[in-house]
Amino acid sequence: MDNRAIGIFDSGLGGLTAAAALRELMPGENIIYFADSARVPYGAKSRDELLIIARQDLELLSSFSVKFIIAACGTVSSNASRVLESFSVPTIGVLKPGIRDMSLIPGDSPLGIIATQASIRAGAFRRELERLCPGREIIDLPCPRFVPLIESGHTGADDPELKEAVEHSLAPAKEAGIAALLLGCTHYGIIAQAIENFLGSGVKLVSASHSAAQAAKLWLEQRGLTGGSGEALYYTSGDAGEFSAAASRLLGREIRAGHLPPMDIK
Ligand code: DGL
């Protein structure tokens, strides 16, 4: 039993998909969520910047004495896995749990991965899936338009700008006849309906956020480290009012986020 909180971080709203999944799987846990909204999007940053950002976000959460951290960000998970794995507080990213779930998709139709441009450039999602599914065709696509649209509120499945971006970005995956698509950026779960509308319900969507929440549950249960009182605190390095409004809309309940000072990359 360990009543300390679980820390979760992302560049903005995306990691809320992991926080929501964790809340559903482990309603008794306490959560500290950090949205680095002042520096979103992470997907447009260099690997060197992401290595620094990863360490800063981990250190910020560890200052809250968390027992475990979920890096609810595909971009950090794919560019800074060593930073995550060597941190003093046990930490998981979303890449490995998401790829593990993808590797269980039966059949021999191609498998799709969508993620930010920094994640696709790093190549780690593809490499890890190739390792687990040798010989299977993999289509990996960067979707740089999605995060800015999501952060600015274009999340409705009928939103014309979002629909156009989804059709444009995912056309190669549809043409390839993929069996499943990994949402390798945690933001993408927020627009899952728009993605499903375009690809059709025959394509299974695998949420890396959900996979990571399940992996966190297993890790904590195996070590007897579960416990808490079901509280959640939210912080952002951006505008607290804006983040609170967007998070409340997405989670379907009132969220009041606190503000933390933005961090410099140095
Ligand atoms: N949600 C994050 C990810 O999973 C970051 C997206 C971004 O800021 O570009 O990659």
In the annotation, is 133 catalytic?
no
Residue 95: its pLDDT value, please? 98
**Contact status, residue 146 vs residue 214, Cβ threshold 8 Å:** no
Residue 123 Cα to ligand 1 middle (Å): 15
Residue 167: its pLDDT value, please? 98
Which residues are near ligand 1 (CB < 6 Å)?
10-11, 14, 40-43, 73-75, 116, 119, 147, 185-187
User: pTM of the predicted model, to two decimals?
Assistant: 0.98
pLDDT tens per residue across span 106-160: 999 999 999 999 999 999 999 999 999 999 999 999 999 999 999 999 999 999 9
Residue 92: its pLDDT value, please? 98
Residue 82: which H helix or E strand, with range? helix 81-85
Which of the 8 DSSP states describes residue 253? S
pLDDT tens per residue across span 206-262: 999 999 999 999 999 999 999 999 999 999 999 999 999 999 999 999 999 999 999
Catalytic choice (113, 115, 138, 185): 185
Residue 224 Cα to ligand 1 middle (Å): 31
- pLDDT at residue 266 greater than cutoff 80: no
Residue 118 Cα to ligand 1 middle (Å): 9
CB under 8 Å to 117, separation ≥6 — which residues? 43, 44, 142, 144
The closest-lying atom of ligand 1 relative to the alpha carbon of residue 115 is 10
Residue 44: its pLDDT value, please? 98
